[in-house]
Chains A and B, each alone.
Chain A
């Protein structure tokens, strides 16, 4: 009796909850961020949906709730089973997704990475927001300007396996060595795309290195977390802070002087470009050297890399112009 009722209830619930049946014949794209639920990737989603609407393609924008590469692999496998025309993913680890992405490529699916890269043979193209060099150099230059080119600095990064963050840090190291020998990087700490953790890590840094002149917080949740830590411990103004984050999340800290300059690119444009590139790639053939990307105009394609452009600097002067 109970079994039968259970069966009926379960069946009815599910039939009601899952409405979708047949998939239409329009192009289907899957775009996956590192994780969902943070400002930066929500902004990317806006751009992605804008491009999808313009092109008339069906877009699924989804990802795991935490920066978990295993869940990403699982979801991509499901997308492969759904026979998507193109899949674009921002991997949480540059190697762990390779087997899954290669399988997608074998099935004839166009595979792109965006925001962070995977192994070169596991994707057709990588949509990069700005060159690693430009980002790394700009971060160091901004800091050097604020602290007078000398002093102890520390970096709060996201995950120690995130390819993009690691390569930015490599370029930061090169810039420090070449141009600012008086600036010393004392430590690098992860904060796992968790704002609360970044807050704690920044507080710990302030205590562990009392002579710290500046902090780099190079993920979009680490910077607001670190800014709050500086503000609460009264170190704002004494310790310089810069990094990568969205203007919306940093507006209050830029206005009250905790952070002078925030570096980023336009994530809405990044999402937009990713969908444009994915759709073009799914239509067939390699991408042209100048990719026509809708409202972005012609975008440079260098080898296997699609380049969005140059990083943007947000200061008190211009931060109100942006809404993402």
Chain B
């Protein structure tokens, strides 16, 4: 694995370690297995989606619709379960997510529309579709066996933690070891140069947006299992969390580089902050402000680290 440039990896790990130390000093319950595993369960959904978002942002694009795809896939799953049982429901949910992502990709590539505009629109479109299908009624009473996905454990750790780890490993592998990852970064660096060099820009983008949609659907299944309910309004505001984590993790918002491990650190940092503050008794009204300040500080840190790096050499 190619080492992350400059002190970025060190910086993020240092921030995370400092936060963990600070939070455990503030509350004796922070470093308990109970708390940390609970935290992992909550963060897994954001973490899984962040893996796809990292690569999307690396291409110079963005996906604001992930929260809505999350809701739509969940509802598609819930209603199919009511009609046809668990197996078909899972399949339909995953396909719905992937399909929604593909719609994003096609609108962006076929009609050359800016990703920001497209996903802003699909954010409303997909959420609306979820509301229409469900008439805003959630589906509850999901079977106990399914709940294992969000509430159960495998080899002592929460199931979704394994899924999250798999998603991160896959994202890291795609970024570093596949042509898809290379092309994605090339597109973000300079789309014209990449196209002239023969990169099939359209196919890469559609693949990445569809892949992100698939990850959203996976996260939606985990969520539905966690709360034993499928809701159309699930995931509202999720896109902001995911994008914040990816940016925090060092993937430049303009694209050109992808740091899935950085995104992982970003998700953990945001989660640790929120969890630690709640444990320490800091009210939610303060948490919002503090989260904003932390993001600014982290962005400044990233900027300093980027400026201090040696000039980039072309990929080996």
Residues of chain A touching chain B, judged by Cβ–Cβ distance below 8 Å, are 2-4, 6-7, 10-11, 13-15, 17-23, 36-37, 60, 62-66, 68-71, 73-75, 77-83, 93, 95-100, 160-161, 190
Q: Which of A3, A75, A82 contacts B7 (CB 8 A)?
A: A3
| Chain B residues within 8 Å of A66, by CB | 237
How far, in angstroms, from A62 to B304 measured CA to CA in the complex? 37
Give min CB distance, A96 to chain B, whole Å: 4
User: How many A-B residue contacts, CB cutoff 8 Å?
Assistant: 145
Size category of the binding interface on chain B: 35 or more
How far, in angstroms, from A97 to B274 measured CA to CA in the complex? 19
When the two chains form their complex, are residues A81 and B140 in contact, meaning their CB atoms are under 8 A apart? no
When the two chains form their complex, are residues B284 and A62 in contact, meaning their CB atoms are under 8 A apart? yes
When the two chains form their complex, are residues B22 and A161 in contact, meaning their CB atoms are under 8 A apart? no
When the two chains form their complex, are residues A2 and B285 in contact, meaning their CB atoms are under 8 A apart? no
Give min CB distance, A36 to chain B, whole Å: 6
| Chain A residues within 8 Å of B128, by CB | none
Q: Which of B29-65 contact A (CB under 8 A)?
A: 29, 32, 34-35, 38, 41-42
How far, in angstroms, from A15 to B22 measured CA to CA in the complex? 6
How far, in angstroms, from A163 to B32 measured CA to CA in the complex? 34
**In the complex, per-residue mask of B109-145: 1 if CB is within 8 Å of any chain A CB, else 0:** 0000000000000000000000000001110110000
When the two chains form their complex, are residues B29 and A82 in contact, meaning their CB atoms are under 8 A apart? yes
When the two chains form their complex, are residues A10 and B15 in contact, meaning their CB atoms are under 8 A apart? yes
Beyond contacts A10-B18, A20-B281, A82-B27: 9 other A-B pairs, Cβ-Cβ < 8 A, are: A7-B18, A17-B282, A21-B25, A81-B34, A81-B35, A83-B29, A99-B151, A99-B227, A161-B137
How far, in angstroms, from A66 to B233 measured CA to CA in the complex? 12
| Chain B residues within 8 Å of A17, by CB | 282, 290
When the two chains form their complex, are residues A68 and B15 in contact, meaning their CB atoms are under 8 A apart? no
| Chain B residues within 8 Å of A6, by CB | 11, 14-15, 18, 301
**In the complex, per-residue mask of B139-182: 1 if CB is within 8 Å of any chain A CB, else 0:** 01100000100010000000000000000000000000000000
Indicate whether A80 sits within 8 Å of B15 (C-beta atoms), given known contacts A20-B27, A96-B138, A96-B231.
no
Give min CB distance, B109 to chain A, whole Å: 33
When the two chains form their complex, are residues A10 and B22 in contact, meaning their CB atoms are under 8 A apart? yes
B305 within 8 A of A: yes
B28 within 8 A of A: yes
B26 within 8 A of A: yes
